[in-house]
Amino acid sequence: MKAASTISAILVFLTLLLIGADIVVEGAAGLSIGTLTDAVRDGGRAGGLGPIILSTVIVLAGSILFALPLALGGAVLKTELLRHHSRLARGVMGAFEVMVSVPSVAIGLVGWSLFSQWLGLGFSLLSGCLTMTLIIVPIMTVAFIGGFEMVPAGLRMNSLALGVTRWQTFWRQVVPSARPALAAGVTLAIGRVTAETAALMLTSGISTRTPESLGDPGATLAVHVYHMARHVPGGESMAYTTSLALLLICIAVHVALARLKKESAA
């Protein structure tokens, strides 16, 4: 038992080591401070990642902004508006849980078909945002529901008994109390959007030009990595550099969030 489990653990470390080393070795050559801000040149084979990072941030912000009200609504529907433990409420919860598993490629296809073609948005950041919203709403909703349900029943009851309305109770007691779960939901959504490639490639496109509005196309970091690695001849080294940049940004965000969590817990 011990031997087998130790070997497994070693394999896990080895995986990260190999992948990490691969990325660092191949990608470090092209990485500099300028990489994060410069424009893209030579069809992506040279230059920086400034426009790509901007596109990523825009898609991130846009999808979360669109998804937040929907996820909030979904969670409220289940926890406040439907009778607790009714079959309908449990069905709603189950529906959201199953929705989390929908493959993003399929959503990407719907996004392209529906938003880009039928609605005429074409390859655009807006189309990407809307598509990502479809993907992250279930994730956020499930997290929010978990948060709202874990609020101690006493908190609600005391508030209502004191004459505070349900609406006020919700916003002034329930929501603040569920803050960790809300934050977790948003964090999961951020991770999902950052890692998403297929759905965004089909909707927000592969453009490396600095986007000027939501109607412009723009590649996100993950999409850029794939595009450079697969479709652009000679683009492998840039794919690695972009991967490295993405990895570093992920680690930085990871560390920052962990620090925030520690502070708010203290």
Stretch that binds other proteins, among 28-36, 48-56, 151-159, 191-199 (CB under 8 A): 191-199
Stretch that binds other proteins, among 12-20, 29-37, 47-55, 154-162 (CB under 8 A): 12-20
Residues 199-218 that bind other proteins (CB under 8 A): 202, 205-207, 209, 212-217
Residues 101-130 that bind other proteins (CB under 8 A): 101-110, 112-114, 122-123, 125-126
Packing angle of the helix pair 50-76, 221-230 (nearest 10 deg)? 130
Cβ at position 41, least distance to other proteins in Å: 9
d(CA 101, CA 98): 6
Candidates 35, 127, 197, 204: give the one binding other proteins (CB under 8 A): 197
Candidates 166, 252, 259, 264: give the one binding other proteins (CB under 8 A): 166
Residue 18 engages other proteins in binding (rule: CB under 8 A): yes
- 125 contacts 204 by C-beta, under 8 angstroms: yes
Residue 161 engages other proteins in binding (rule: CB under 8 A): no
Candidates 57, 95, 252, 260: give the one binding other proteins (CB under 8 A): 95
Stretch that binds other proteins, among 29-37, 47-55, 150-158, 239-247 (CB under 8 A): 239-247
Residue 86 engages other proteins in binding (rule: CB under 8 A): no
Residue 6 engages other proteins in binding (rule: CB under 8 A): yes
| Residue 171 C-beta-side C-alpha neighbours within 13 Å | 5
Residue 183 engages other proteins in binding (rule: CB under 8 A): no
Residue number, 151 or 239, with CB nearest to other proteins? 239
Residue number, 16 or 161, with CB nearest to other proteins? 16
d(CA 64, CA 50): 21
